[in-house]
Chains A and B, each alone.
Chain A
Amino acid sequence: MSRIIEGLLYSESHEWVKVEDGLAIIGVSDFAQSEMGDITYVDLPAEGDEVTAGEEFGALESVKASSELYSPVSGTVEAVNEELESAPEKVNEDAYAAWLIKVRMSDASELDALLDAAAYEQVAK
């Protein structure tokens, strides 16, 4: 049984979003990391890159699989979690602490389309 945290927003493709000071902090859910198994690499965009809601911004890699990451919101990447470059296992250890990117949103209304914890529980099964 994977962990789902109250107060975060979720996408159907298993990313989570936390909004802080107008920045969307994006990660993957505990369900996503447990489905992947041991994550060996997190492929992330560069600071300053544009991301679009519903479109790919990176990928999680394990030894035998790769899974694309889809941005829940549109905007500009303001920060990338560089720690994951050398320590991708942090995503396995705590998917909600190991954020991936922070995005300056161009359209905050896109958040409305995301799921709350209860709704996501129905997806992450």
Chain B
Amino acid sequence: MFDSCDSTKDVQQSLWRSTPLNLPEVSEPDVVRHYTNLSQMNFGVDTGFYPLGSCTMKYNPKINEEIVPQFNGIHPLQPAQTVQGVQAVYDFMDKALAEITGMKRFTFLPCAGAHGELTGLMLMKEYHLRRGDTARTKVIVPDSAHGTNPASAAVCGFDIVVVKSRPDGLVDVEDLKPLLGPDIAGIMMTNPNTLGLFERDIKEIASLVHGCGGLLYYDGANMNPLLGVVRPGDMGFDIMHLNLHKTFSTPHGGGGPGSGPVGVAERLVPIVDVPKTSGFHGNFGVILRACAYILTIGRENLKMAGPLATLAANYIKESLKDSYKLPIPTVCKHEFVFDGLADGGDVTTLDVAKRLLDYGFHAPTIYFPLLFHQALMIEPTETESKETLDAFIDVMHLIAREASENPELLHTAPHNTPIGRPDETAAARQPILKYSFD
């Protein structure tokens, strides 16, 4: 029909598609079977323990999922008078997150953590620009930072200056001092940092950075251990994001959707809504889930979330430190880093990670942070029972024994998964990125 509504039959001038549309032509039962089978090749939080460092894989409550469909039919451009319920959710979340973090106001436009970082950096730039302070072109990022920090700063048009970590894993204040000046827009900090260590010099860092006219950005990816205990706003941070899909229990969905609301301190409140970083109102469906979580956990249980997550991390760390190299032995927060096996021979961190899959556990984050060559970054959460942690600890010990007794078993792991280790080099050299219909 679409060709016939054309006044011209000339393909070049036609407004209609002439290329055939290749899409599956399958029955509904076959579609259901296909995706059900695919799902069975996947591992999720509901399948097993997911000690993935910096990812905060906590339990995703089921009641949260049931809330969303009640709001499915609402068009994003509906006038305020017709969306009073929706507005009440945003208002509640704004107040609740401000209370939990010590910030003043939140914008909910960012759809993920890195998107929050970018929005927050835009606010940083806007703040300086509105004061006529146009020389602040640089952002300081610690060498232990998540890769998104320098990447977000670059997208926002900032130059990146790296501040080093000391041997104890904390930001080197002496290295920071000479970097500060009238060209510094601010610093991005993750506290606790990616080694799971609380940046105890934060007060001095805040006063130094503020002293040079810069702002402090808080990367909320590691907020979980502070949940209910410490508020970034009280530590002197001016801008921060939260990952609702980490700290506030919404599911990761195999890589999204997330939500990365950005909170600001008093002096940035007038500009908080200035950067329009997504099309409508952010990921409302995710915000709803996080709202349900806050109502469920309430003020009583909130205070226990951070401490229980922190206890779990320290429990694993202390239980495994004889089998795995622990470069920084102090009390950690929600996560910590091993630098490979204590006595691993040629067994690498990758081998350990792959062997864990055989035993029904997800692997930790590996080869990050870059400060250690064989990094294994482990983060349990407050929703894992002691029994689960013990089972994980037992398997990690077992793998350490296997490494010395039968290293080949680890080099070739995993053995019990739908596929074995794929040839990633071939995938990158000769990319095949879609099905061929030839």
Contact = CB atoms under 8 A, between A and B. Distances in A.
A17 to B, nearest CB: 27
A61 B367 CA distance: 17
Interface string A77-111: 00000000000110000000000000000000000
A30 to B, nearest CB: 19
A38 B367 contact: no
B429 A64 contact: no
A88 B429 contact: yes
B433 interface: no
A31 interface: no
B367 A40 contact: no
Interface in B357-378: 367
Interface in A52-70: 61-64
B367 A63 contact: no
A41 B367 contact: no
B425 interface: yes
A24 B9 CA distance: 57
Nearest to A92: B425
Interface string B399-426: 0000000000000000000000000110
B80 interface: no
B425 A64 contact: no
Interface residues of B, number: 6
Nearest to A38: B425
A19 B425 CA distance: 33
A92 to B, nearest CB: 10
A64 B427 CA distance: 12
Contact of B424 (A41, A61, A63): A63
B173 to A, nearest CB: 29
**Interface size class of chain A, counting residues whose CB lies under 8 Å from the partner chain:** under 10
Contacts of A64: 367
Contacts of A38: 425
B428 interface: yes
Contacts of B424: 63
A63 B424 CA distance: 7
Q: Chain B CB within 10 Å — which of A40, A61, A62, A64 has the most?
A: A40
Nearest to B429: A40
Nearest to B430: A86
B320 to A, nearest CB: 25
A64 B348 CA distance: 15
A85 to B, nearest CB: 11
A38 to B, nearest CB: 4
Contacts of A61: 428
Contacts of A63: 424-425, 427-428
A41 B430 CA distance: 10
Interface in A6-55: 38, 40-41
A63 to B, nearest CB: 4
B215 to A, nearest CB: 30
B304 to A, nearest CB: 38
A62 B367 CA distance: 14
A116 B427 CA distance: 37
Contacts of B429: 40-41, 88-89
A89 B426 CA distance: 10
A113 B428 CA distance: 36
Contacts of A62: 425, 428
Interface in B335-370: 367
A38 B428 CA distance: 10
A105 B340 CA distance: 46
A88 B427 CA distance: 13
A81 to B, nearest CB: 16
A62 B425 CA distance: 7
Contacts of B425: 38, 40, 62-63
Contacts of A41: 428-429
A62 B427 CA distance: 11
A40 B428 CA distance: 6
Nearest to B370: A65
B190 to A, nearest CB: 22
A104 to B, nearest CB: 31
B430 to A, nearest CB: 8
Nearest to A41: B428
Nearest to B425: A38
A88 B428 CA distance: 10
Interface of B: 367, 424-425, 427-429
Given A41-B429, A62-B428, 14 more contacts: A38-B425, A40-B425, A40-B428, A40-B429, A41-B428, A61-B428, A62-B425, A63-B424, A63-B425, A63-B427, A63-B428, A64-B367, A88-B429, A89-B429
Across the A-B interface, give the 6 residue pairs with the lowest CB-CB distance, nearest first.
Answer: A40-B428, A38-B425, A63-B424, A40-B429, A63-B428, A63-B425
16 contacts: A38-B425, A40-B425, A40-B428, A40-B429, A41-B428, A41-B429, A61-B428, A62-B425, A62-B428, A63-B424, A63-B425, A63-B427, A63-B428, A64-B367, A88-B429, A89-B429
